[in-house]
A and B are shown apart, each in its own frame.
Chain A
Amino acid sequence: MEMEILINRIIREVIFWMAWIIIPLIMEIIPAFGGFFILLKKSFVLKGKAIPQAVSEITLIIPIYNSAETLRTCLTSVHNSNYPIELMDILLVNNGSTDNSYEVYRQCQDEFRDLPMTWLNASQGKSKALNMALYNSHGKYIVHIDSDGKLHPDALRNMAIRFEQRPEVDCLTGVILTDMKLIESTNSFMMKLVRRCEFFEYCQSFLAGRNFESEFNSIYTLSGAFSAFRKSAILKSQLFNTATVSEDTQVTFQMHKIQKKGISLCENAFFYVDPIESYNKLYTQRQRWQRGEIEVSHMFLQEELTIIKGFISNFMVRTLVFDHTFAFPRMIWYFALIFLVFLNYPIALVLSSIGIIYLLYSFSMFLYYINVLMYLDKVKDIQRYYRSKWYLIFVLPGFNFVVFWIRFAGIINSIKGEGVWKTTSLTEEWNKIKVAVNDDFHFPKRVIAALRRKVNL
């Protein structure tokens, strides 16, 4: 009897809290749980795949835009790659650089004499550079990387092997991670924490997020920093679009929608980029990503924007609902918590519900953490680093919260004004406010100053 009362009480308590947390639970925690098991299964399946011995010729495209500082490191990583050099064809496509990138290229040519490199000049814009290189490429597979990152020695080989293993796959995205040495050399404590969070975020975004999407051929965007195509597939597309700020998502949509091509993640092909430079950069970069998603949806999804059919049958609409539509009730939810305190709700109730949600988010971060650790098995140094930073699973919900607001800013700001590569940073926005307020109070300030002078006299 007592047991029954106890169980009933627990059920009532659970239902009571469920009411508070039901929305984030359905939206994020349950999918994280499902994804965990799917990725667990995939990791075992992958281990059994046979590795083909021969690989084919690849064309490596590197768009260059004021890359003088990073180009040498990038080319060094290509040189250190274990892909057979005789099967490589490297195209560096300059698109309007104003620095001495070309001189750096010439020095690298002398240094890495065995690397077959060609320099091309295109008009401004990464898309134009990529398109020009595509027309000049000879390889069976086309790989493009950004000039400000570094390839892992096995990356190209693993991508080519994956293409050979899976004939149904036409496009592959590599795994982009931020450079852990640079993260650890950061001086400021807060910035280091943000960069570590960013590293975790990249790990999760590729090794959990895209890895999971890859299982259902529903990758939303190939990485703009490192991805690869079968030449036969990419040349049938409309190539890289020059109108949008997000040519990587645009080409992904083309492959999905027009050509019904298989898009997958090559989870053992790593590419390292620099961690985020500053808070301002994070603020503008995430807004640009969000804007890209909206622009590409405008190009491809207009006919499919229905809530029931679209949501059920089209993963792109689903992603849009998660990123765009849910942002609005989420905003209400966050502010409602503050208002509830004013409405005389017990503060303990509000705080406990925030606490429960935080713990649930941390739990889903923990599930991702386990997944990511499994997929970092081939890169032991990164795996060790990632493992040692386990405590970040408790910090990431906070980081994601901040990123949510930045992306929300991206949604609202993309409605008005021209698309700019350089969205205004927080510092610039703050300066604008200061100037406006100073202007407004210019007259009263002058009056007060005049009065003071009078009184003093």
Chain B
Amino acid sequence: MLTLKIIAFIVWIYVIWVLSRTGLHFFKFCIGSVGLFFFLMLWIQPLIMQPLKMAVSAAAGVLGDFFEMYDSYYQYSILFIPKDTTAVSLTIDYECSGVIEIMAFSCMLWFFPLYNTIEKLIINCIGLAVIFLANVLRIFLICTLIYFYGNEIFYFAHTIFGRIFFYSISIALYFYVFTRSHIIRQKVGSFNYGNGDTDK
């Protein structure tokens, strides 16, 4: 199985190399970012999963402590929300950790042909911080809703409210990283009519 994965990786590198040389930017972007995502999921994700889950629960715990609403047991990635005489426990799992979102963003950024390497490094760090914080805030919001409205609200808070919140922040991040910079840097003019004449 490992051999297969390594062969896939080599083929992917070769395809990217061909697409770079032929100047097919879109296919390079697509195959590049999706491929990178696939290999990160395969090899990097298992390594960062546990620390990320702990970091998210620890950071969410800081907010919980501050507002005295819930406790975090970050070693186990669990949050405890006391409600009346009982307590609701929330486990930060794979989906809550934001690992997929962080990797998807990074993969697209590294193959987005607008920035140079230094810029990509800086933007990647900022993006990571934004997604991480957005995720922590999302969990804080879900816990707050449970704290006030009880376990019944969990499903709504988690699957709909939390998702819309997190999605809105992601859209804002994508807007600034991909759209705004692209529009500002877009070259206009000096286009070619396809028969060799250039119109300035």
A residues bordering B, Cβ < 8 Å? 12, 15-16, 18-19, 22-23, 26, 96, 124-125, 242-245, 294-295, 297-299, 301-302, 305, 307-308, 320-321, 324-326, 328-329, 331-332, 335-336, 339, 408-409, 411-422, 429, 432-433, 435-437, 440
Contact = CB atoms under 8 A, between A and B. Distances in A.
A307 B192 contact: no
B159 A413 contact: no
B80 interface: no
A420 B182 contact: no
Contacts of B19: 433
Contact of B184 (A302, A321, A418): A302
14 contacts: A124-B193, A124-B199, A297-B183, A307-B172, A307-B176, A325-B174, A325-B178, A409-B26, A412-B25, A412-B29, A415-B114, A416-B25, A417-B23, A419-B187
Contact of B160 (A22, A124, A416): A22
Closest 9 CB pairs between A and B?
A422-B194, A419-B191, A243-B189, A19-B159, A409-B26, A298-B186, A432-B22, A412-B26, A305-B180
B175 A298 contact: no
Given A294-B186, A301-B183, A419-B190, 6 more contacts: A243-B189, A307-B172, A325-B175, A335-B37, A414-B186, A415-B25
Given A19-B160, A413-B25, A124 B197 contact: yes
Majority SS at the chain B contact face: helix
A125 B101 CA distance: 45
Contact of A421 (B41, B184, B191): B191
B178 A324 contact: yes
A216 B193 CA distance: 36
Interface string B136-164: 00000000000000000001100110011
Contacts of A412: 25-26, 29, 112-113
A333 to B, nearest CB: 10
B108 interface: yes
Contacts of B178: 324-325, 328
A408 B25 CA distance: 11
A434 to B, nearest CB: 10
Contacts of B26: 408-409, 412-413
B25 A418 contact: no
B179 A325 contact: yes
B18 A418 contact: no
Contact of A420 (B164, B183, B194): B194
A244 B174 contact: no
Given A18-B159, A324-B179, A433-B18, A295 B188 contact: yes
Contact of B155 (A12, A295, A329, A437): A12
